[in-house]
Structure 1
Amino acid sequence: MNTTSSLIPVTLIPGDGIGPEIMAATLKILETIHAPFQWDKQLAGMAGVECSNNPLPAQTLESIHKTGLVLKGPLTTPIGKGYRSVNVTLRKEFQLYANVRPVKMLIPGGRFENVDIVLVRENLEGFYAAMENIFPVEQDTKAIATCTGYTSRTECHRIVKYAFDYAVANNRKKVTLVHKANILKELCGLFLEEGRKVAKEYQDKIYYEERIVDVCAMELVLIPETYDVIVTTNLFGDILSDLASGLIGGLGLAPGINIGNKTVMFEAVHGSAPDIAGKNCANPLAILKASALMLQYVNRDDLSDRINKAIHQVVIKNNIRTRDLGGNTSTSELTEALIQAVQ
């Protein structure tokens, strides 16, 4: 067993709604395999507001700056009280420039069988960093709304290069750059221009292609098996990553990684689902798969493999599934089955 001195400090944010339940399940499984993490539990989202009237308390930010490694459950941003999105704020605070969403088929028998896509999304710019304004017309004080997004050559280059480096490091064969430069000629044109420059540096290693975003969306629901690594801008990446998750059964199976130069955050990308919180029916697989990715990140592929093999044994071979996956197993029952399989 690891000694305390050899453990890796990690900021643990259980999250809101079903977050504490699915995080508790994941921690039990990680404890069973003696994962080398030392947890620093912190609050954010509604839990942060309830504790300190702040969705991102100073001590949470301080912990992340200190550890540089985060395992995060789903967060809720309070509505109508002037709070910015907690997730967007975290990305900006820690310059988490790349959002990585692996989407791989787990449960057979659906519409598609060979989905294995990694979507790399630019995380800091585009319309999610937009400047918005409203303008009055006659008696209507909110008659016109405008939104000015932006993209920079530096970030375009960095995100495409990350996608190609990821493809090389993970034995991927192809990178598809997704854009809308035919209409957004400057905003997406710069992204496409830099993407082509980067692609030339890898032309002997990785096949490169381009798709307009609407064509990509169509092909993802017709021939998703033809896609490998997708790299795209912030807004398109948000939409396409959820679309891709739907191909494999939904967000309950989708982990996510946010990459920065000094900080890496692993998360469940689904919502906090307050309607089922406390009912012992939530699916913990997304945050569990995120923890497996975090084990890979700290070079413990052996432990990551144990988790993924246990998921396959329980969900596929033993057909033990929560209701979102077509079963009727409770969170605690699924957790216990996974603990038995991972030993």
Structure 2
Amino acid sequence: MSYEIATLRGDGIGPEIIDQSVKALDAALRIFPNVQMNFTYLDGGADYYARTGQVAPDNTWKEMAAADAILFGSMGHPEIRMPDGTEVQGHFIVKARKTLDLYAGIRPIKSYPGARGVDPNAEVDLVLVRESTEGLFASFGGGAQIGDDVFADMMIVTRKGTDRVSRYALELARTRRGRPSDGTQLVTCVDKANIFRSLAFFRQVFDEVATEYPDISTDHALVDSFSMLMMQHPERYDVLVTENMFGDILSDLAAALVGGLGLAPSGDIGEDHAMFQPAHGSAPDIAGQDRANPVATIVSARMMLEWLAARHDDDNLRKAADLIERSVIATMAEGQRTVDLDGDLTCSQFGDAVAATITRLGAEL
């Protein structure tokens, strides 16, 4: 079977890390020749905006909508701004999420060999599910302004949006091994329901949906105290579900548990479309130096294979996704790591090492 992948290399380190993820995908798919992927490279990003005055051309949006999946590198540059002072990448990503209805932001946080987090001995294997079309981000590009003194943005929470993201989190928990501490399949609703009516409603809808999943344990947490508890006891958590802005902040914070954003993949998933990208930014300070850590992007590509496999019931893609994951773990366990993890490999050398491991492990299948 053949899949069309809309591919945006982006800005800064984006081209470097995307190239390594494609390298890993190519190596895995050589093991499973019944699967093909066609990568269509598209324009868009801060550099493109600086040249043209557009975040992305019309063709990019059309190709993204028509593709089987979207693979996206990092985007943006702090010195390239829109007229309202905001950065370019937000306009691209938020438009993509809203246009393609990518309502579930999936942020896995998992320990990899040789990566030192806040507590090197902590057991970390959790997934944050972020509602990605509503919440405080619903005001993006809008909001209210009165003169030069008053600016306001509004948080939007709907029953439909909360129902479907809660359902996604509960379904996801059914597929996982549970929290590291005791194997309990648990979904934690993280909110601020004690203060905001919108988030009390978020909790209410979550609880209503949870009654349909008696096999999954659930609990609640207030985002402020939870931020501390997650860092102290990550082994207590399995799947987290939360509002858009809270999810944005918590997912970056949680990456510190496993060694940083270079190890944090993500997927923006809807009913008909999905976009996969590293959780980190474009790091323009090291762009072009072959120093970036491509793990997050390679693992995001693995998430893409898993999503496509489920959508098309393609067992070869499931096997390819598993092979990439095992190869990243094996490569890092052998001490082959990038400089940010106290290794000595460049970005491209790490990509080569993972591709070689894929070929080696694939030959044993």
Q: Scaled by the length of structure 2, what TM-score is found?
A: 0.86
More strand by share: 1
Shift, 1:134, TM fit:
3.4
What is the aligned-residue RMSD (CA, Å)? 1.7
1:24 and 2:26 are equivalent in the alignment? no
Please give the residue correspondences for 1:97-112 in structure 2 after superposition, counting only pairs within 5 Å: 97-107=103-113, 110=117, 111=119, 112=121
In the alignment, does 2:143 pair up with 1:123?
no
Letter in 2 for 1:10: I
Q: In structure 2, the residue corresponding to 1:114 is in which secondary structure? A: coil
Q: Does 73-82 or 7-16 show the bigger shift?
A: 73-82
Tell me by how many angstroms 1:50 deviates: 5.0
Letter in 2 for 1:287: T
* Structure 2 residues without counterparts, runs of 5 or longer: 31-35, 179-184, 310-316, 360-365
> Which stretch of structure 1 is more off in the superposition, 84-93 or 258-267?
84-93
**Match for residue 113 of structure 1 among 122, 130, 133:** 122
| Contact kept in structure 1, 2:192 and 2:223, CA below 8 Å | yes
| Cα offset, 1:231, TM superposition | 0.4
- Secondary structure, counterpart of 1:128 in structure 2: helix
> In the alignment, is the contact (CA less than 8 A) between 2:16 and 2:348 conserved in 1?
no
Superposed CA deviations along residues 23-68 of structure 1, whole A, max 9, x for unmatched, are 1122222222226311111111124325643112111100011114
One-letter amino acid matched to 1:132: G
Q: 1:309 aligns with which of 322, 326, 351?
A: 326
Identity %: 33
The reply on whether 1:191 has 2:207 as its aligned counterpart is: no
Q: Map 1:151-166 onto structure 2 (within 5 A).
A: 151-166=157-172
Aligned residue identity for 2:253:
L
* Alignment partners' CA distance in 1, 2:71 and 2:28: 17
- Residue in structure 2 matched with residue 331 of structure 1 by the alignment: 347
Name the CA distance, whole Å, in 2 between partners of 1:329 and 1:127: 40
Q: For the Cα contact (< 8 Å) 1:107–1:248, is it kept in 2? A: no
- Which segment drifts farther, 162-171 or 64-73? 162-171
Cα distance in 2 for partners of 1:335, 1:65 equals 29
In the alignment, does 2:326 pair up with 1:286? Answer: no
Amino acid at match of 1:99: G
Amino acid at match of 2:198: L
- Secondary structure of 2:61's match? helix
Task: Give 1:44's aligned residue.
Answer: 44
TM-score (ref. length: structure 1): 0.91
C-alpha deviation, 1:86, in angstroms: 1.4
* Superposed counterparts of 1:105-254, under 5 Å: 105-107=111-113, 110=117, 111=119, 112-130=121-139, 131-136=142-147, 141-142=148-149, 144-172=150-178, 173-184=185-196, 186-203=197-214, 205-254=215-264
What are the within-5 Å matches in structure 2 for residues 9-20 of structure 1?
9-20=4-15
- SS of the residue corresponding to residue 232 of structure 2 reads coil
Question: How far is the alpha carbon of 1:307 from its aligned partner?
Answer: 1.4
Contact 2:24 2:354 in 1 (8 A): yes
The residue type equivalent to 2:353 in the other structure is: A
- Structure 1: gaps of 5 or more residues: 1-5
What SS does structure 1 have at the residue aligned with 2:126? strand
Say if 2:3 and 2:68, in contact at 8 Å, map to a contact too: no
Whether 2:69 is the aligned partner of 1:75: answer no
Q: Give the drift of 1:133.
A: 2.7
